Structure 1
């Protein structure tokens, strides 16, 4: 065995190296969450809506029961009819549990009032607990009781809710609210009185986001016309009157519909889903001050929700081709269901927790909310990071608990006094740059750093200089700086002598 060795580093397959990987530039925003899911309760159906206030996360959807973390379907189930509430910090199930029922009962929209005292719920239901209802109600968050004064009669499904101090906006499939014509959008006072606000929209509203400082409500959905004029899938309305303030005629192609709208201090964001050739499935950013289009990404994969939080745009979709987006991935057999992007330039950031597509329409996650620094995700998935978890999951700032995958070593070449060991880079869901430590006979001989993603794992190598005619054992580990993988299986290498090198034999 060799006592002292001189080493050099060689990279194999240069065509596969970092030219294919676009890491975020210096100064890119920092993702607030690890990719490791926290222990979370589950539902036995689809979660369509999430809302949060006062350390409580409210969950609405189409489900009959919830069950504890780790429980399989049918085990330890607790009755919850289309609505449940959880402690935002601990994740514990709370007793707030009014049942939303009816022939095709479902909760599709949840939104808290700005002061957090009221939770508004919409969907398709005709009873909440023992009280009759018509697709929209309000709950007092202090004690989970129904607000009796808020009792509108909505003629069809409510799919979106937005709130201000003075108004509660409903959007959906309906034509009548409390006996008055309101075509797919309406506004009520917090006490439940129908307001004069009115807009004539020709197809369902699926997304709304109100910006009080601008006196506007952004509206998205399946529609083609608002107030008698063309407005394909996206428009801004005067939040008092309902008059069209702005339309966006070239932002979305035919066949694409807006599913979600969010905003931050300077921008508003749109998530779209499309059907047919030439559609748009990705995200759009516009400037609030003048409605200028800032960017569009062209990821394919039916975006269901967007959420702006601490300088990062989070989204839920089933993205499968983001090759035209900075930091994005090519078309593959698999899909990525959660993404984080820079709001400045749409760059996809290295944060890749994932779900499967699950039940229902096979789209995976459908709702996002953040409370007490924890990101909650709801949808129709049945797995998270390849492990069973249905309907709900959540992510916090830490701890980061998952190590990179264990790399496998192979022998590239040997020559008298030299052995070149190679391996394919591993990858980690929330750390792009990993460190690889190679051990010869238990002693560290190489430490290298390399950036990688699940779709681009470059080959790496190390050329070890050792005495000819010796035999050595190599092992490798990968670390993200916090978690270290187990060491790889041992690779035994016989380094040839001058004689057997000339004859081409190997020991």
Structure 2
């Protein structure tokens, strides 16, 4: 697991080598040292379309989306394909596909939400479809994970797309674009028993005063059963007929649907909540703004009292968040995090994965990346953790600049990527002095790198420096040698595990 640099290390490095950019500033000291996963993707199967949702249960990762086939790692589009219609299952450890493959068809033919029951026995599925495998289902279904059969008793009729799901031991919460469930009015959100029976829970979600307003909807749900609270996110401005300062985010009583947290002022106009998750203590969200400079980042809040812990200011719509061991992983297309600790100013190349300290929102040195991909060209859309491996799905067609469509995975080890070695220069400006100079390298999952200098093939010294791909400070070292002597120098870079190839040699003669 990769360790981010501690503030004291930054101070020492700056003292030795010059002041580092403020873009590398860390957060409060108590947040130092959160480990991240490696940025080196594991070999992963691919899809031929968009992955909208991921879920894990009993050693299996389930994938939902809009696709027709899967194919092996490294296979080019259209080759070595196996039919999978909007749904696939993979062994969580090996990553190999499993035969569990009911087709979800009819409607718009897409799976948008997956969530396993707490005991893993059932997988609840939402989307836009009219059939789940061989049986008719109306935009939601449940799968028996033991034998991959569609559950017979869970078959509610939902009038439009289900985009969000969360599940407790005795309740299934669904959210989306619908106006009725089981023929009864349920605007955008409903609660059901595991057998599909509709519960009295009711909250009317609207984007305006117009019933069934198509601009309003639920994108995300997270439930805290011990607090009897369900938090919803989406694109709306009214809950239960009252504004209450509500915009795009609300906390509801999990039994009645009454508003218990309005989160007034959290989400600005022209911004919508796209993802919600909780860890039993805190909840986390990601937002998508419409228009330049509109809130696109992440917020951490407390479940118990609905208070805000922190809010970042990154631009680049956030589609997925996932907390794991003190780190909040996210999928977005971040391009400006200049006001967030550890962040970057506006850059041409979007950064599609981020890792942040849950303690203080500092952006940690973990920078695997994808392209924007197909569809809406958003990049990553979904994240899930399975046995210590982070699975990511979305619209992308490359990962770390290599072809890879729809799915990828990251583990804690092994770290296999060595930093690139920079170009070394040498000159003698005074008697018996040789100054070597180079630009700092960078690594996808380590902040501080070590630069080892060799003179005449023998190790001379090493220097540490903190860097990122958008901030590669100039570095130098002055060697004292005999006046008039000629020496050859080379440089190698290590992240503590992997060592780059040694560059050079550079030949320099010291002045007399």
TM-score normalised according to structure 2 size: 0.92
Secondary structure of the corresponding residue to residue 42 of structure 2: coil
Counterpart in 2 of 1:222? Answer: 235
- CA offset digits 1:165-195 (Å, max 9, x no partner): 1111110000111211111111110011111
- CA offset digits 1:187-236 (Å, max 9, x no partner): 11001111111111112100000000110100000111110012210001
- CA offset digits 1:388-421 (Å, max 9, x no partner): 1110001111011111111210125433322101
Counterpart in 1 of 2:420? Answer: 405
Q: Aligned-pair distance for 1:19?
A: 4.6
Counterpart in 2 of 1:70? Answer: 74
Q: Aligned-pair distance for 1:489?
A: 3.0
Counterpart in 2 of 1:163? Answer: 167
Counterpart in 2 of 1:501? Answer: none
1:135 aligns with 2:148: no
Change (3 A) 1:412 1:135: farther
**Counterpart-to-counterpart distance in 2, 1:51 and 1:387:** 25
Change (3 A) 1:406 1:15: closer
Contact 1:477 1:484 in 2 (8 A): yes
**Equivalent of residue 289 in structure 2, options 240, 263, 274:** 274
1:249 aligns with 2:264: yes
**Counterpart-to-counterpart distance in 2, 1:165 and 1:134:** 23
**1:81-480 → structure 2 map (5 Å cutoff):** 81-202=85-206, 203-230=216-243, 231-480=246-495
Change (3 A) 1:29 1:468: closer
Change (3 A) 1:61 1:29: farther
Change (3 A) 1:327 1:464: same
**Counterpart-to-counterpart distance in 1, 2:124 and 2:93:** 22
Secondary structure of the corresponding residue to residue 468 of structure 2: coil
**Counterpart-to-counterpart distance in 2, 1:206 and 1:11:** 44
Q: Aligned-pair distance for 1:460?
A: 1.1
**Counterpart-to-counterpart distance in 2, 1:395 and 1:126:** 34
Change (3 A) 1:20 1:319: closer
Q: Aligned-pair distance for 1:12?
A: 12
Counterpart in 2 of 1:17? Answer: 20
- CA offset digits 1:322-360 (Å, max 9, x no partner): 110111111111111111111221111121111111111
Contact 2:270 2:290 in 1 (8 A): yes
- CA offset digits 1:119-154 (Å, max 9, x no partner): 011100111222112110000000110001111111
**Counterpart-to-counterpart distance in 1, 2:23 and 2:103:** 51
**Counterpart-to-counterpart distance in 2, 1:191 and 1:29:** 46
- CA offset digits 1:96-119 (Å, max 9, x no partner): 000111252000000000110000
Divergent runs of 4+, >4 A: 10-16
**Counterpart-to-counterpart distance in 2, 1:322 and 1:352:** 14
**Counterpart-to-counterpart distance in 1, 2:80 and 2:320:** 31
Secondary structure of the corresponding residue to residue 226 of structure 2: helix
Contact 1:12 1:459 in 2 (8 A): no
Change (3 A) 1:278 1:33: closer
Paired residues, what number?
488
**Counterpart-to-counterpart distance in 1, 2:384 and 2:15:** 44
Q: Aligned-pair distance for 1:490?
A: 2.0
**Counterpart-to-counterpart distance in 1, 2:293 and 2:23:** 26
**Counterpart-to-counterpart distance in 2, 1:19 and 1:496:** 37
**Counterpart-to-counterpart distance in 1, 2:337 and 2:313:** 7
Contact 2:224 2:303 in 1 (8 A): no
Higher deviation after alignment, 80-89 or 351-360: 351-360
Q: Aligned-pair distance for 1:243?
A: 1.4
Contact 1:256 1:274 in 2 (8 A): yes
Q: Aligned-pair distance for 1:463?
A: 1.1
